[in-house]
Structure 1
Amino acid sequence: MIFLVAFLSVWCISTAAAQEDLLKLAQENDSARVEHISATFKATRLINGHTVETNGAGTLLFLISHRFGTLNSGAYNFWGLDQSTIRLALEYGVTDRFTVGAGRSSLEKTFDGFLKYKVLQQKTTGSPVTVTAFTSAAVKTQDWVDQEKDFEFAHRLTYTYQLLVARKFSDRLSLQLAPTVVHRNLVETGLGETRVYAMGAGGRFKLSKRTSFNAEYFYLLPDGAADQFKNSLSLGFDIETGGHVFQLMFTNSQGMIEKFFIPRNAGGWSSGDIYFGFNISRVFNLGKNKGEW
């Protein structure tokens, strides 16, 4: 009898331990299936605007953005190719989630800097979207047209605040929303309010392993700026070539930072104010494997 009781006790303990081990294994298998969704977009820019993507820790990105003149400028200006606006920028990944950047545009000789932090990452189980917070400041350094007015340095500044929300629906399709606020410290008479609200929307459809079609639209919420300016509409293609991402686009926006293509966009597709341009980015790894491209 004693042996029977001992046997039953050992058997019960062994069974309980086995069930606990099976439960742990099942939990580990479930957690293994919860994966981060990466590469929602191929680059940190969709076309003009930012995407939810941030640089990896220790990664430096060099970005060249170029917009030619309008197609309706005619043969004399080679349909805009005789004219150009350029922006050069550097972006650095402080961590996998946090990126800082700075750039300089030839338009109004503008310097800009930004901070970008990935708040949420889309997962197979859990968060259905990726969310990135973005803020930037831009300063105009071009001489004032009216030198007699008493302008201050603060009048040169413009600030932008965005919340980028994106979802990768499949290997081919990604969509993004970008509620935006742009604050201008100085607005020329009749050109809208100092604070402008807009809603950005865009997406990427993968055509092949290395190419995709992109679209981007910024809708100005009804106010003074919306009465004076046009919504920004851009269409383009991403082409990945090794360490480069080459983006070709057609857009009705000449400027390549938010202060230009959101509250001050004068071009219209219907009137032929269409700019052909490109973004080209090159990544350098300055982290653990220094010197590798």
Structure 2
Amino acid sequence: MASNFTPGRLAAGLALAVLSAAPACAQDLLQQLNHLATDSLRREYVEATFKGTRVINGHSIETPGAGSLVFLISHRFGTLNSGAYEFFGLDQATIRLGLEYGLTDRLAVGVGRSSLEKTFDGFLKYKLLRQSTGVGALPISVTLLATSALSSLKFVAPPERSTTSRFTYTYQALLARKISPSLSVQLMPTLLHRNYVDLSRDQNNVYALGGAVRQKLTKRLALTGEYYYLLPGATADDFRNALAVGFDIETGGHVFQLHFTNAQGMIEKFFIPQTTGNFFKGDIFFGFNISRAFQLHSKP
């Protein structure tokens, strides 16, 4: 029996198969193009530029999330060059206890109390801009910070100072960029105002420029550095720039920070205008920060 198969019929069958498959291929291609277009239009915010709300001494751009309460313990021992009698600084210590609360994902408030000069402090912190990718991408994050500090230390020498004279105010713009998943940098232009200074040559207004860096070493370990440069003036002549290096260790719900710094104080009032230690001559305070976050209520 003769076969009906011919080359012409084969070609016609292949053409029919291609034509029937073309709409499906075109639909798949259109869906892929739509996904690409949607992804390019979606704005995504960069997260975790720094792991905690502090770099070392100073603030990072980060704030607690809405409804999140952060309990922060900051501790400084004495200087390493204080000798064996002081157990290389471990016999001496200052401490600060603080609470920070996220009113929203961008606005936070905080209070604290330091043993140094028995100082109470408070702050407001607002994320003005957030680094993002996609449509309308922003290359940096900007957080505004305003702090106040009140020394409650008794003065033995007259005259007794008024309450208002005990206040110090700090204003900062924190500008940061997460350059890669492992590397983040931050700049901190700073104005610090002291209502009272001891001598007429001392500055009520102190200007400084800070810089910070965070380099991740492993998934849970990062190297950090921080430096505050005092702009020329009487304060820069009489005091030193604050320098600090340390490590961030992530342990579940905690962030544990170990560091070495030439500044004893743990708030801006102290470490920006009053640092006296020479880091390279052993005037180094070993210390740590421990922070623990509690979610008080879920996000809406």
2:153 aligned with 1:142, yes or no? yes
The letter of the residue matching 1:228 is D
**Within 2, Cα distance between the matches of 1:278 and 1:110?**
19
Shift of 1:26: 6.0
Show the counterpart of 1:51.
60
**Within 2, Cα distance between the matches of 1:25 and 1:250?**
49
2:155 aligned with 1:127, yes or no? no
The letter of the residue matching 2:209 is M
> Structure 1 residues 186 and 136 mapped into 2: Cα distance closer, same or farther (>3 Å)?
same
The within-5 A match list for 1:143-292 is 143-146=154-157, 148-189=158-199, 192-288=202-298
2:120 aligned with 1:72, yes or no? no
- SS of the equivalent of 1:270 reads helix
Of 30, 38, 45, 1:28 maps to: 38
Note if contact 1:183-1:194 (Cα within 8 Å) is conserved in structure 2: yes
- SS of the equivalent of 1:29 reads helix
Q: Runs of 4 or more off by more than 3 Å in structure 1? A: 21-27
Show the counterpart of 2:115.
106
The letter of the residue matching 2:41 is S
TM-score norm. by structure 1 comes to 0.88
Note if contact 1:191-1:228 (Cα within 8 Å) is conserved in structure 2: no
CA RMSD of aligned residues (A): 1.8
The letter of the residue matching 1:243 is G
**Within 2, Cα distance between the matches of 1:82 and 1:22?**
66
Of 80, 96, 115, 1:87 maps to: 96
**Within 1, Cα distance between the matches of 2:201 and 2:56?**
25
Shift of 1:23: 9.3
Larger Rg: 2
**Within 2, Cα distance between the matches of 1:29 and 1:268?**
51
CA-to-partner distance for each residue in 1:167-186, whole Å, 9 max, x for gaps?
A: 00011100000000000001
Shift of 1:28: 2.8
**Within 2, Cα distance between the matches of 1:29 and 1:213?**
33
- SS of the equivalent of 2:117 reads helix
- SS of the equivalent of 1:187 reads coil
The letter of the residue matching 2:194 is R
Q: Give the count of matched residue pairs.
A: 268
CA-to-partner distance for each residue in 1:166-207, whole Å, 9 max, x for gaps?
A: 000011100000000000001112672000000000100000
Of 118, 129, 132, 2:127 maps to: 118
CA-to-partner distance for each residue in 1:3-35, whole Å, 9 max, x for gaps?
A: xxxxxxxxxxxxxxxxxx999866533223x31
| Identity within the alignment, % | 58
> Structure 1 residues 237 and 257 mapped into 2: Cα distance closer, same or farther (>3 Å)?
same
